[in-house]
Amino acid sequence: METIVIIGNGIAGVTAARHIRKLSNNRIIIVSAESDYFFSRTALMYVYMGHMQFKHIQPYEDWFWDQNNIELVNGYVTNVDTDQKQLLVDGARSLDYDKLIIATGSKPNKFGWKGQDLHGVQGLYSKQDLELLEVNAPNKDKCKRAVIVGGGLIGIELAEMLRSRDIPVTFLVRESSFWNGVLPEGESQMINEHILEHHIDLRLSTNLEEIIADENGRASAVKTDKGDTISCNLVGLTAGVTPNVKFLEGSKIELGKGVKVNHFLETNVKDVYAIGDCAEQHEPIGNRRPVEAVWYTGRMMGETIAQTICGNRMEYKPGHWFNSAKFLDIEYQTYGWVFGSKGRQSYESHFHWRHPKEKICVTVAFHKDTQQFLGINTFGIRMRHELFDQWLTNEKSIDFVMEHLVDANFDPELYLQYEKEILAKYNTDFSKSLKLKKKSNKRIFQLNI
């Protein structure tokens, strides 16, 4: 029996622990200073918004860990000695390991702004951030205005949270259109409109220059590169995240932005692995980024590394890219690759359809020469992941996808469907006369119980 120590109790670390337990009777220790028990990080916003209590976003009962013989240690790892295979926790307690999994996740970016460490300035990533937000922005009387810096998914989540308590929000986005490094132009423009319709003061092409303190050392205003001074009681720093690996500096573990790993999630040191947001691939997998701060990739890495730990060395193969998110009340899904303005390839063509009244749209990417389907983004329409995964694997054509789009619709029958309108615009845009195929009666998906 070996001792497996996992640093971090997020989705990656906990998934690794669960699957190692399924496969072995190894001793498993999870070390984390964030919370006593694993919780769903993506649901933090709903606790602040009053839809849930914190206990509701803990997927496992407190007895789960003892019952499955998974030891939990609350504390910070302050030193990693890979020669002695030993960790130091809180500068005092030592833990020995046979195999070490680093799964410490991310931390909010700070770019050296003057005033970035003032009281009233925070990110939104951890349980501690949620607790601090209750102090900094409990209601609109205590927080007259919040300024959010950074136009990504965390930024728009924080804006929605604050608006749920009627706190005025100014949103500083350095790009010329919201998230246009990821989203194609039509989608980004639609989200701009949606943000403004939710009474959020969206300021595009605007950078933070300084956070101004009051006489008590709290944030009281921000200055922008447009010369504006905006009074506020809260500054939310949501300009992305970076791997949480500073505690490994001085160890023998190779670092870049994150912990450097190969495609087997192995570091340069024997018996030391890294998974989740803190792992950085030496060589990116396909079009993926070297560091992927995504919930489902953390889960997949946890499942993969459990196999390796238990004697079945397995390469991490995440398959086709997919993701989902929510922009206020618009659901977003992406399958395959649909690049925004920054990453769009020379061979990539797009078809875009937008509903004339509702905030609903679809963008399909395809190879302009071969007509191969490359990916799809949907806003306000739910699609079936398994079917798009199948079409991408089988390298179906854009025409095939458009003709069979009705098969991919996930919405219940009573919801409005838009495949006819989508196909009609596609035919017009590309001078075609395709017709929708009738929905297949063949059972494509199997429910695993």
CB-based burial of residue 17 (10 Å sphere; 0-12 exposed, 13-18 middle, 19+ buried)?
A: buried
For 102-116, how does the pLDDT look when each residue is reduced to its tens digit (9 = 90+)? 999 999 999 999 999
Across the range 238-248, mean pLDDT stands at 95
Query: What is the identity of the amino acid at 68?
Result: N
Domains annotated for the chain, with CATH where assigned, are 3-107+242-309 (3.50.50.60), 121-239 (3.50.50.60), 322-430 (3.30.390.30)
* Residue 448's pLDDT band (cuts 50, 70, 90): very low
What is the four-CA torsion angle of 121, 122, 123, 128, rounded to 10 degrees?
-170
Mean pLDDT of the chain: 94
Across the range 193-200, mean pLDDT stands at 97
Rounded Cα distance, 352 and 402, in Å? 12
* Residue 342's pLDDT band (cuts 50, 70, 90): confident
Assigned token pair, 345: 């390839």
Residue 417 pLDDT: 86
Across the range 175-199, mean pLDDT stands at 95
For 410-432, how does the pLDDT look when each residue is reduced to its tens digit (9 = 90+)? 876 666 789 999 999 999 999 99
331's CB contacts (< 8 A; 6+ apart) are 324, 379, 380, 382
For 135-172, how does the pLDDT look when each residue is reduced to its tens digit (9 = 90+)? 999 999 999 999 999 988 999 999 999 999 999 999 99
Q: What percent of the chain has pLDDT over 70?
A: 97
CB-based burial of residue 380 (10 Å sphere; 0-12 exposed, 13-18 middle, 19+ buried)?
A: buried
DSSP state of 383: B
Assigned token pair, 291: 């560091």
Assigned token pair, 126: 């951890």
Burial per residue of 89-110, b for 16 or more beta-carbon CB atoms within 10 angstroms, e otherwise: beeeeebebebbbbbbbbbbee
Across the range 323-352, mean pLDDT stands at 93
Say what angle helices 11-23 and 295-309 make with each other, to 10 degrees: 30
Check whether 443 has a pLDDT greater than 90: no
Assigned token pair, 270: 């024997």
Residue 441 pLDDT: 54
Residue 20 pLDDT: 98
Across the range 2-27, mean pLDDT stands at 97
Residue 440 pLDDT: 61
Q: Are 237 and 110 in contact (CB under 8 A)?
A: yes
